[in-house]
Amino acid sequence: MIPVAALGAGALAGSGVAVLVRAMVRQQPHLSATLDRVNQPGSLEESAAVPLSTDERWGAWLLRRLEHLPGVKIPYKDLALIGKSPAQHMLTKVAATLGGLLIPAVLWAALTMLGINPPLPIPAAAGLVLGGVLWIVADLEVRDKAKRARQEFSHAVAAYLDLVALERAGDAGPAESLERAAEIGHGWAFLRIRDALERARIDKVAPWDQLKQLSLDLDLPVLGDIADIMRLSSNDGAAVYTTLRARAKSLRTELMAGQAEEANTDSEKMTAPGALLAVLIMFLIGFPAISRILLS
């Protein structure tokens, strides 16, 4: 009679093989999604035939098989903002998770070779916990980088607002003022704005519509404000010099308030380590005297 444990082990192994085969088989694409991709105009980046690296190919392979699983969320907007592809992000997540799973096993094997035999469930549980933590850490790192990038972009937009206002005060048209102001600035934020305006010129669309789309793609509301103001200037012929300068001033105020709040938070975080360091110094200073009194 076959033991129950053997049946369970066989069922578990068969389930693992089935899941592996299911992941390896290429899934049939949905017709609606395929038609949407065909009908959408390609961007400037997609039109350039750039060969993919080995990491990109592996990351794309993992992305196709893991992005639809429950609990797997890819921060596409944050990745697009920091200039990292979803394939690279997925490869980083999987590599970090595998590393977290293997580190406790390697340590357990090293201890076993030294004659120390810790219980097997300990490294298994530690590997699962460490792998899960590293899976989340990759997303947290992208979120923090995107947060800093949005703050930097907001500072650039504040300067861009003033430049556009000056161009409008010089009797430049709405589209012309946006392009001229973008040519003046430097840095990656102005480069993104110039690329969006150039794409608008090639696609024969209004530049403020392209800036609005860029603000939605990268989750940049401050850039959408410029698009809304310039759309108002184009449609209604409104004088937007005062509006642009007022929005730039309010944006600088918001950024300064955020920096002050962040500085206060960092100062509060240093209170506990500073107090602990003071207590430790007092203990080191008083320890010789106290030990002499206790030993006498």
* 109 φ/ψ angles, rounded to the nearest 5 degrees: -65, -40
Mean pLDDT of 224-242: 76
> Is the pLDDT score of 43 beyond 70?
no
Q: Could you report the per-residue pLDDT of 118-171, keeping only the tens digit for each?
A: 787 888 888 888 888 888 988 899 999 999 999 999 999 999 988 888 888 887
Q: Is 49 helix (H, G, I), strand (E, B) or coil?
A: coil
Number of domains in the chain: 1
Q: Is residue 80 part of a domain?
A: no
Q: Is residue 76 part of a domain?
A: no
pLDDT at 13: 46
> Is the pLDDT score of 45 beyond 80?
no
Residue 234: burial class (beta carbons within 10 Å; 0-12, 13-18, 19+): middle
Q: Is residue 72 part of a domain?
A: no
Q: Is residue 229 part of a domain?
A: yes
Distance in angstroms (rounded) separating the CA atoms of residues 24 and 18: 10
Q: Is residue 206 part of a domain?
A: yes
* 263 φ/ψ angles, rounded to the nearest 5 degrees: -65, -40
> Is the pLDDT score of 176 beyond 50?
yes
Which structural domain, as residue segments, surrounds residue 166?
148-259
Q: Could you report the per-residue pLDDT of 53-94, keeping only the tens digit for each?
A: 777 788 788 888 887 778 788 888 888 888 888 888 888 888
Report residue 34's pLDDT band, with 50, 70 and 90 as the boundaries.
Answer: very low
Q: Is residue 3 part of a domain?
A: no
Q: Are 189 and 149 within 8 A, CB to CB?
A: no
The whole-model pTM stands at: 0.66
Residue 87: burial class (beta carbons within 10 Å; 0-12, 13-18, 19+): buried
What is each CA distance from 233 to 19, 52, 165, 202, 236, in whole angstroms? 58, 43, 11, 22, 6
In the chain, alpha helices (H) = 4-24, 31-39, 44-47, 54-66, 76-82, 86-113, 121-169, 174-184, 188-203, 207-218, 221-236, 241-269, 271-295
Report residue 263's pLDDT band, with 50, 70 and 90 as the boundaries.
Answer: confident
Q: Are 182 and 197 within 8 A, CB to CB?
A: yes
Report residue 259's pLDDT band, with 50, 70 and 90 as the boundaries.
Answer: confident
Report residue 270's pLDDT band, with 50, 70 and 90 as the boundaries.
Answer: confident
Distance in angstroms (rounded) separating the CA atoms of residues 142 and 148: 10
Q: Is residue 265 part of a domain?
A: no
Give the least confident one: 33-37, 164-168, 181-185.
Answer: 33-37
Q: Is 71 helix (H, G, I), strand (E, B) or coil?
A: coil
Q: Is residue 194 part of a domain?
A: yes
Q: Are 219 and 201 within 8 A, CB to CB?
A: no
- Which of 223, 204, 243 minimizes the C-alpha distance to 153? 223
> Is the pLDDT score of 18 beyond 60?
no
